[in-house]
Homo-oligomer: A and B are copies of this chain.
Amino acid sequence: MISNAIIRRLPRYRRYLGQLQRQGVQKISSNELSALIGFTASQIRQDFNTFDNFGQQGYGYSVDYLYSEINKILGLDREYKTVLVGVGNMGQAITNYNYYYKVGFNIIGLFDSNPKLIGNTINDVVIKDVSELEDFVKENGIDVGIICVGRNNAQEVADMLVNAGVSGIWNFAPIDLEVPDTVALESVHLSDSLHTLAFKIKTNEESKK
């Protein structure tokens, strides 16, 4: 069982390795990576070795190899059929973000309950009525549902997605959803993040005194 602390670091490793790859860097040592990312070299080596021995003594790590291995570990070596529910401001932003930074989560269905939105298209995907959600998910073997509806409807939408058989939910509503533990859940709590910022500002100001 991989610890949560490591899981949270993996995407960051991936991010930097992707950058290095784009820059054409071939090899990197844990020390160099440390200077770049900010984790200690020791931690970096520990993290990698929880999975496998990716490096070579006296040489370092091959950027290409490490990058592709981390992609495999993260499960980014495949496509995820995805739907998004709630095409408001946030939903549209996520749709376009996802379209722009293409990373294997293909949004092939958009759903909303607002009649004004239904029928419109974003990036060639038609917005359907949310009543069609469950059938669509079942028929198309959807893997992931993105929830961008408000606080009050989020659990309901999550239940639909779970019933229809998705394996993961990416949630932007500001509540903690209840899903069976066979379904992966990852929530982005924007307000929590903002409040953390407020706390940091306050702490900084106090330490100035």
Q: Mark A93-125, 1 if CB is under 8 A from B, else 0.
A: 110110001011100000000000000000000
Interface positions of A (Cβ within 8 A of B) = 2, 7-8, 10-12, 14-15, 37-38, 73-76, 80, 88-90, 92-94, 96-97, 101, 103-105, 143-144, 167-168, 170, 174-176, 181-186, 188-205, 208
Tell whether, in the assembled complex, residue B15 and residue A199 are in contact, meaning their CB atoms are under 8 Å apart.
no
Residues of B within 8 A of A12 (CB): 176, 189, 192
User: What is the CB-to-nearest-CB distance from A13 to chain B, in angstroms, rounded to a whole number?
Assistant: 10
Residues of B within 8 A of A96 (CB): 88-89
Partner of A195, one of B74, B94, B97, B185: B74
Q: A15-B174, A89-B97 are in contact. Are A196 and B186 (CB under 8 A)?
A: yes
Q: Which residue of B lies closest to A167 (CB)?
A: B201
Q: Which residue of B lies closest to A181 (CB)?
A: B204
